[in-house]
């Protein structure tokens, strides 16, 4: 029996994926749920498990190609005794804990050598596939321009080849954004930077997306930073005393992160405009706090999101942080789990950095950076106004904010609120 492997739908907003790497080659044996390939969407890179046991009979889509969701990408030859995964439709509203496997589909007809695009949407008098729309968006091709391209597909539909040919002769990109990365000419670069004095390395997909996102953010938001120091001594002492108990009861180590997230969530509820986005001249106030946490994974920086963090208690926040961070490092996150954030925290202190100025994660309007927490000598003043020198666990917090709607006074008050929440933390919230 032949089983199709199709490009899985990794999230409600995901319409296509790129084949990054095949872990198997034709003729290789594959087990049920064994990782068979790695794909990239415009949100995240993911390892995809095999939906069936058998032998990889054919790879239809090679590495580097981008195809629509539902497109056949490979074929597994199996037998009636081999198990085939029963794959339910993903519940995008649930708290997902695993990457959706590639969908298996039994076939009896020969596999075609080429795969036509599926028209899914109509504008004006023509259909445009998600793949064509994606290319148009990245290249700054407007709808009016698309309407003028002569299509070679069924019914005059514009195909990937048509838009690629158009881009070769196109002289202007009126709607291109400064965030668009253009492919450099490799031969020209080799002349300018000859070996062995130089090595030219191609950005991977995640690096390209990060570069575009960061440039777009700096171009969009006038960044202003405010920095405060925070005394973490009470929290550090509590961690030291409660570390074993917490790990026994919850199953993982107690870190500073849940304290930081919970204290920031409370500040966001007091300053709702920080939990917003901007569209034109309108401010979109978000009623829920979807808290993003930057995680350094082997593939690069990724920001998974704790949904409805304002509705979780301390242990719930701690569990979410631990779960998302672990799965981010092994590429087990779904695209829906790294989008929809309303505020982001980045902990560059984990690398020993004490101060940083992070870039806002668009379309959010602020981001909190946390420096390394270290013991320092500080001046202490008692109730009578007497000064003394003491050793305290101090960390610096940096708030980068969008000066279009957040001025220095508001940004400073919000940051001060976080510091107060941390320094006066109510430890009864932990258990």
φ, ψ for residue 292, nearest 5 deg: -90, 140
Token pair of 422 as six digits: 């941390």
HSE value, Cβ hemisphere, 13 Å, CA-based, for 232: 23
C-beta separation of 202 from 167 below 8 A: no
Instruction: Give the separation between CA 95 and CA 316, rounded to whole angstroms.
Output: 12
Tell me how far apart the alpha carbons of residues 64 and 237 are, in angstroms, rounded to a whole number.
51
Cis check: omega of the bond before 196, within 30 degrees of 0: yes
Q: Which of 95, 185, 244, 407 is an active site residue?
A: 407
For the question of residue 407 being annotated catalytic, the response is: yes
Between the CA of residue 279 and those of 216, 383, 406, what are the distances in Å? 15, 48, 15
Q: CA–CA separation, 146 vs 137, rounded Å?
A: 11
CA–chain centroid gap for 69, Å, is 19
- Residue 278 CA to residue 284 CA, distance in Å, equals 6
Closest Cα partner for 230 from 31, 50, 6, 421? Answer: 421
The tokens for 409 are 């006074």
Number of neighbours of residue 338 by Cβ within 10 angstroms: 19
The angle at the Cα of 251, spanning 250 to 256, to the nearest 5 degrees, equals 70
Tell me the sheet residues that pair with 374: 394
Beta pairing partners, 395: 230
123, 237, 244, 403: which is the annotated catalytic residue? 403
Q: How far apart are CA 152 and CA 157, in angstroms?
A: 6
| CA gap 14, 338 in Å, rounded | 12
Q: Are strands 54-59 and 45-49 parallel, antiparallel or unpaired?
A: unpaired
What distance in Å separates the CA atoms of residue 362 and residue 222, rounded to the nearest whole number?
12
Rounded to the nearest angstrom, the gap between the alpha carbon of residue 366 and the centroid of all alpha carbons in its chain is: 17
To the query of whether residue 403 is one of the catalytic residues in this protein, the response is: yes
For 313, phi and psi rounded to 5 degrees? Answer: -85, -175
- Mind telling me the catalytic residues? 403, 407
């Amino acid at each position: 029996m032949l089983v199709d492997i199709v490009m899985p739908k990794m999230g409600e907003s995901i319409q296509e994926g790129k084949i990054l790497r095949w872990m198997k080659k034709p003729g290789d044996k594959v087990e049920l749920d064994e990782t068979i390939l790695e794909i990239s969407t415009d949100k995240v890179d993911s390892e995809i498990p095999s939906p069936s046991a058998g032998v990889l009979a054919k790879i239809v889509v090679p590495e580097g190609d981008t195809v629509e969701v539902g497109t056949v990408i490979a074929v597994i030859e199996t037998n009636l005794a081999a198990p085939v995964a029963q794959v339910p439709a993903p519940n995008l509203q649930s708290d997902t804990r695993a990457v959706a496997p590639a969908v298996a589909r039994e076939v009896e007809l020969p596999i075609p050598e080429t795969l036509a695009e599926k028209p899914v949407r109509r504008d004006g008098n023509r259909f445009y596939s998600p793949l064509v729309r994606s290319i148009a968006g990245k290249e700054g091709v407007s709808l009016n321009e698309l309407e003028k391209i002569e299509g070679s597909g069924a019914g005059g539909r514009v195909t990937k080849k048509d838009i690629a040919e158009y881009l070769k002769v196109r002289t202007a990109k009126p709607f291109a954004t400064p965030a668009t990365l253009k492919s450099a000419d490799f031969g020209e670069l080799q002349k300018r930077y000859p070996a062995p004095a130089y090595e030219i390395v191609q950005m991977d997909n995640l690096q390209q997306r990060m570069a575009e996102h960061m440039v777009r953010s700096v171009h969009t938001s006038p960044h202003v930073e405010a920095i405060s120091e925070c005394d973490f001594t009470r929290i550090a002492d509590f961690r030291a005393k409660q570390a074993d108990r917490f790990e026994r009861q919850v199953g993982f180590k107690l870190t500073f992160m849940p304290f930081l997230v919970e204290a920031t969530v409370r500040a966001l509820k007091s300053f709702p405009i920080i939990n917003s986005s901007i569209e034109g001249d309108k401010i979109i106030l978000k009623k829920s706090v979807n808290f993003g946490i930057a995680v350094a994974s082997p593939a690069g920086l990724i920001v998974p999101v704790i949904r409805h963090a304002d509705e979780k208690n301390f242990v719930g926040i701690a569990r979410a942080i631990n779960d998302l961070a672990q799965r981010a490092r092994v590429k087990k996150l779904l695209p829906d789990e790294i989008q929809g954030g309303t505020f982001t925290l980045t902990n560059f202190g984990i690398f020993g950095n004490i101060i940083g100025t992070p870039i806002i994660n668009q379309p959010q309007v602020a981001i909190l950076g946390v420096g390394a927490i270290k013991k320092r000598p500080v001046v202490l003043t008692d109730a009578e106004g007497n000064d003394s020198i003491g050793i305290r666990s101090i960390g610096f917090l940096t708030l980068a904010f969008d000066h279009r709607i957040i001025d220095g006074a508001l940004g400073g008050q919000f940051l001060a609120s976080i510091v107060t929440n941390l320094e006066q933390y109510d430890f009864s919230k932990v258990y």
